[in-house]
């Protein structure tokens, strides 16, 4: 089985994460072993079927200036 890892870092909003989750789901649906790694704040909701998720310690910012990274 082919394997793929998708890394996504979201700082303001969750659009990148949601798109990465959709891509991960589509790959899993056609037989890929998928690992989705997130470096942003954890979000709730349903996890993609057949996708292994890894939550890294989150990086955060206060506003769109992206300073300071915490």
pLDDT in tens, 9-19: 998 889 999 99
pLDDT in tens, 22-66: 999 999 999 999 999 999 999 888 888 899 999 999 987 777 777
Q: Give the torsion through C-alpha atoms of 10, 14, 16, 21, to 10 deg.
A: 110
Cα–Cα separations (whole angstroms), residue 68 to 17, 44, 63: 21, 25, 9
| pTM for this entry | 0.84
């Amino acid at each position: 089985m082919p394997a793929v890892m998708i890394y996504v870092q979201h700082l303001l909003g969750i659009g990148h994460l949601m798109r990465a989750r959709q891509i991960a789901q589509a790959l899993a649906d056609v037989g890929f072993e998928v690992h989705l790694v997130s470096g942003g704040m954890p979000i709730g909701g349903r996890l993609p079927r057949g996708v292994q998720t890894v939550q890294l310690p989150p990086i955060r910012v206060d506003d769109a200036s992206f300073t300071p990274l915490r």
